[in-house]
Amino acid sequence: MKVPNHIAIILDGNGRWAKAKGMPRGYGHIKGCANLESICDDIKDLGVKYLTVYAFSTENWKRSREEVDGLMKLFRSYLKKCMKSAEKNKMRVKVIGDISAFDDDIQDKIKKLEDFSKDYNELFFQIALNYGSRDEILRGVRRLAHDAAEGRLDPDKIDEGVFENYLDTAGIPDPDLMIRTSGELRLSNFLLWQLAYTEFYFTDVPWPDFHKPELLKAIEKYNERDRRYGGVKEE
């Protein structure tokens, strides 16, 4: 079985999973967070080199105060615990998204974790926090426009490679497989540029129940696909 080099996951369904059990939404996020830790281990064991997860979107601030506060509390404890997983899995962690909207202590924890893990290279783990693809593209375009206006960049030399360097994912290869859990069939502003040629896998299984057997199913389906990139199939 061919293992994708880069898997991206939209972690969806924590709230509905908890509701179905008669529990508050926050309980679903706690279980979702625990599942993220174990999927990271599974991904590493399978030999996948890059994992990118969508944990908090630019739209998620619109949720109730109680839910957002609960998520921030969870991020705080997760970012601390993640140092241990980073060490264990020799995993470099990078947060993508606009982190300036988070409280200072969360921003500090992110910087500490990124710095602590910067020399690991067995697994590259990107966590999207306060992330929206349109926002990422606009932030990149703004920097690019400044570089052009100030003479550091020739507008005629702007190609895909140059543009990609202005994205939060600069230097990270595009995902080969994108998984979305819990039944919704949309991208929700996730990696719009980077997913141009990616295979999609949608499942009804909610994120807290998405364990290794489900991951293997997704990789099997990926193996059945015929990835041609617009070329001609090799017989």
Type and span of the H or E element at 38: helix 25-46
Among 9, 36, 123, 191, binds ligand FPP (CB under 6 A): 36
Binders of ligand FPP among residues 108 to 127 (CB under 6 A) are: 127
- Active-site residue identified among 12, 168, 174, 176: 12
Terminal-residue alpha carbon distance, the chain: 19
Contact criterion met (CB below 8 Å) for 175 and 191: yes
Phi/psi region, residue 90 (left: phi>0; alpha: psi -120 to 50; beta: rest), is: left
| 55 near ligand FPP, judged by CB under 6 A | yes
> In 3D, which of 61, 133, 126 has the Cα closest to residue 141?
133
d(CA 30, CA 168): 27
Contact criterion met (CB below 8 Å) for 199 and 178: yes
Q: Please say which residue, 36 or 96, places its beta carbon nearer to ligand FPP.
A: 36
Q: Please say which residue, 125 or 166, places its beta carbon nearer to ligand FPP.
A: 125
| 49 near ligand FPP, judged by CB under 6 A | no
Binders of ligand FPP among residues 16 to 35 (CB under 6 A) are: 16, 29, 32-33
Phi, psi of 158 (to 5 degrees): -75, 110
Binders of ligand FPP among residues 186 to 225 (CB under 6 A) are: 207
**Among the residue ranges 9-17, 157-165, 170-178, 224-232, the one whose residues contact ligand FPP (CB under 6 A):** 9-17
Amino acid, res. 196: A
DSSP state of 91: E
Number of residues lying near ligand FPP (CB under 6 A): 19
Q: Please say which residue, 24 or 217, places its beta carbon nearer to ligand FPP.
A: 24
- Active-site residue identified among 5, 60, 189, 223: 60
Min CB(226)–ligand FPP separation in Å: 31
Q: How far is residue 76 from each of residues 81, 89, 199, measured CA to CA in Å? A: 9, 20, 33
3-class secondary-structure state, position 233: coil
| 91 near ligand FPP, judged by CB under 6 A | no
Q: Does the active-site annotation cover 165? A: no
Which amino acids are annotated catalytic? 12, 60
Binding site for ligand FPP (CB under 6 A): 11-16, 29, 32-33, 36, 55-56, 60, 74-75, 78, 127, 182, 207
